Structure 1
Amino acid sequence: MKTLYLVRHAKSDKTITGISDFERPLNDRGLRDAPAMAKILAKKVNSPDLILSSPAVRALTTAQLFAEPLNYKAEKIQQCAEIYEAGVSTLLKTINEIDDRNNCVVMFGHNPGLTDLFNYLTDNDLINLPTSGIVKIDFDLDSWKLVSHGIGISTYIDYPKKV
């Protein structure tokens, strides 16, 4: 059994000028929502085997805010450049390359990629995974290499406004 949690980065600050999209930090709401959602997720998963994150500031900061409540050392977060601005095929390739010793993985990234990936893997029709939103997908598989279209089972969806 493999379990994948997809977490969209927390709300970012779009008011700052003179920086790239990649460099955008979290805003005050994001800095509140991420730790709150991390505590909720920590009740479901204690110490994932692997945390993967886009290296974009807003995604990596979100992953770092989740790490401690999940009993995961922030310095062990694997930054994966391919996650930033990735579509389904790139995200799927990243998942297929996960070492099979990792059974529970949390991936931090961006929309529309994460919403599209969730729908692709589970045959759901989620319109939008909100910022700080979390989805859980279970795969009745022994290898990440076998993850493909429609074989995931969605077992959990949560986001700040739902809480």
Structure 2
Amino acid sequence: MKRLILVRHGKSSWKQDLPDHERPLKKRGYRDGNKVSKTFKEFYSPPVKVWSSPAVRALETAKMFKDTLEISDENFLVRQDLYTFDAKELMEIIKSCPDTVDKLMVFGHNPAMTNTVNTLGDKNLENLPTTGLCVIDFENHEWKNIKDGKTIITLIPKNLR
């Protein structure tokens, strides 16, 4: 069985004139990241492999979860190819995960995240909002064959406030 945890990055700031991948989190992004990660900790069971986009807003969100869930450095990886907004590319990356990994947590960007949640899970979301988290379980034993997953948890920050 495989478990995929998809997390969209926290709310980012547009205050500074920065390239997209350098935009930082807003205060709300930090508040939501702390709230969602602490709530998710109640459902979480290690180990998990974490992959994050290198974009500042995604990486900062991933680091909050890393700290809250006490994820080791060896299970935390920044992947340049996760700076994508395309669901097909995101799916290819996820399906490349080694089969020795049973739980994969990915931090990335929309619309790729929402589209992937809707493609793989059995509950359709209009939008996975910033710092939204979705857990999908699969009966498959190989990442390359994941499909028809069961959405078991969806955490939306505004529902936790």
TM-score past 0.5 threshold: yes
Aligned to 1:153: 150
* Cα 1:125/1:46, change in 2 over 3 Å: closer
Q: Distance in 2 between matches of 1:26 and 1:139?
A: 32
User: In the alignment, what sits opposite 2:12?
Assistant: 12
Q: Are the counterparts in 2 of residues 64 and 74 from structure 1 also a CA contact under 8 Å? A: no
Offset of residue 121 of structure 1? 1.0
TM-score, normalised with respect to structure 1: 0.92
1:162 lines up with 2:124 in the alignment: no
What does the per-residue CA deviation read over 1:30-67, in whole Å, with 9 as the maximum and x for residues that have no partner? 11110111111111113342001111000001000110
Q: For structure 1, which runs of at least 5 residues remain unmatched after alignment?
A: none
The separation in 2 between residues aligned to 1:38 and 1:56, in whole angstroms, is 19
CA distance in 1, matches of 2:74, 2:28: 24
Root-mean-square deviation (CA, aligned residues, Å) is: 1.4
Provide the residue aligned with 1:82 in structure 2: 81
| Counterpart Cα distance in 2 of 1:75 and 1:26 | 25
In structure 1, distance between residues paired with 2:154 and 2:11: 18
* Alpha-carbon distance in 2 for matches of 1:130, 1:75: 28
Determine the structure 2 residue equivalent to 1:134: 133
Cα displacement (A) at 1:8: 0.5
* Percent sequence identity over aligned pairs: 38
Report what 1:95 is aligned to. 94
Which whole-Å CA distance do the structure 2 matches of 1:131 and 1:27 have between them? Answer: 11
Please tell me whether the aligned partners of residues 48 and 106 of structure 1 are also in contact (alpha carbons under 8 angstroms). no
With over 3 angstroms needed to count, the CA separation of the structure-2 counterparts of 1:112 and 1:37, relative to structure 1, is same
1:10 alignment partner, SS class: coil
Work out the CA distance in 1 between the residues paired with 2:66 and 2:109.
18
Deviates more, 1:83-92 or 1:103-112: 83-92
CA drift of 1:131 comes to 0.7
Aligned residue-pair number:
160
1:76 deviates by 4.2
Q: Letter of the aligned partner of 2:128 in structure 1?
A: L
